[in-house]
Structure 1
Amino acid sequence: MYTSRRNVTRRVSIADTASGRSRRTLLVSALGVFAAGFAFDQLTKLWALSALADGTEIPLLPSASFSLAFNPGVAFSLGAEYGAVTASVVLILLTGLTVWIATKIARRHRLAEIALLTLVAAGGWGNMYDRITRANDGALTGHVVDMIAVDWFAIFNFGDVLVVCGMIAWLACNLFSDSGEHRKAE
């Protein structure tokens, strides 16, 4: 037990430094997850644009293949007819998600929770990057490059996989955790 004010002050100072390292660790981890997910998404799209551009289809499984497509909408081409309006809504949602992740880092939430949400953000921003860089008809009108075709389902890209799998894993992580201890009071 500390009796002097000096020792108590030093104790708080040490705790603050430890918290700072924790935030730095979370931030660096989140940035690493984001960079890896975003880069892999963009690299697979570049590969698809070069390897599949002439209509080539590469079989993967009996009902799946690599095949190039350009999606003007979001999942399942939803919102394609609204163009930039749909992309603007997605941009607002992605910005909100990014701010929420930053808040979780500042409050030192669990690394797993932050990493899973960061995967969702990486996939979403990868697709938004397509909309911005492939826009020929005005801001946010670009089409997203898709290349994983499942006959009975849809055609999608690695960014879509990050969004869906990251969100499912994040929900499972939160729904099936033993207790709410992992969350700090908001």
Structure 2
Amino acid sequence: MRLVALSALVVFALDQMSKLWVLSALNLDQRGTIEVFPPFLTFRMAWNRGVNFGLMAGDDDLTRWVLIAVALVIVAVVVVWIRRDPPGLLGLIGAGLLIGGALGNVIDRVLYGAVADFLNMSCCGIDNPFSFNVADIAIFAGAIGLVLFTPSKPPKKKAP
């Protein structure tokens, strides 16, 4: 569990520091967009009140608190799962990534009422309208890691 906690802490810290930097030092919430390495990397501020790509977005407090509760339930389920059936080194790191990212986005919802998204990447003539953040990357990578690096157990044989 130390590896999970360490992975989660690193992701959480990187996520929150990156958001503090773009909001405080770069004033991205006021500037809107900063071309970093166009078109591949742009900082484009977006306040996400929903889940991925703004799905289930709502401006009311009920939506906000439901999404906070769902994220905390997911964190709890992952913790119980990996305690009962530890997935191995890469699976544990994946769990930590998912947990740290989820908690980073929960903090945003508590502090700002929405998740602070700011990374935007486009390529090859495709203009991506969506922004994301470090927590989103970690959640995605962590979920993939848990799927790929959790060994499947053979089904138990039934007694005759």
Q: Fold conserved (TM > 0.5)?
A: yes
Q: How does 1:167-178 map to 2 (within 5 A)?
A: 167-174=143-150
Letter in 1 for 2:29: A
Normalising by structure 1, report the TM-score: 0.67
Letter in 1 for 2:70: V
Large movers: runs of 4+ above 4 Å: none
| Larger relative contact order (Cα-Cα within 8 Å, sequence gap ≥ 6) | 2
Pick from 62, 69, 79 the counterpart of residue 98 of structure 1.
79
Q: How does 1:1-186 map to 2 (within 5 A)?
A: 27-50=1-24, 51=26, 52-55=28-31, 56-81=33-58, 82-104=63-85, 108-134=86-112, 142-150=113-121, 151-152=127-128, 154-174=130-150, 180=153
Aligned Cα root-mean-square deviation (Å): 2.2
Structure 1 unaligned blocks of 5 or more: 1-26, 135-141, 182-186
Question: Which stretch of structure 1 is more off in the superposition, 30-39 or 83-92?
Answer: 83-92
3-state secondary structure, aligned to 2:29: coil
Contact 2:94 2:144 in 1 (8 A): no
Task: Decide whether aligned partners of structure 1 residues 171 and 153 sit closer, same or farther in structure 2, where only a CA change above 3 A counts.
Answer: farther
Structure 2 unaligned blocks of 5 or more: 122-126, 155-160
Percent identity over paired residues:
30
Q: How many corresponding residue pairs?
A: 142
Which structure shows the higher helix fraction?
1
Looking at CA atoms only, which structure, 1 or 2, has the larger radius of gyration?
A: 1
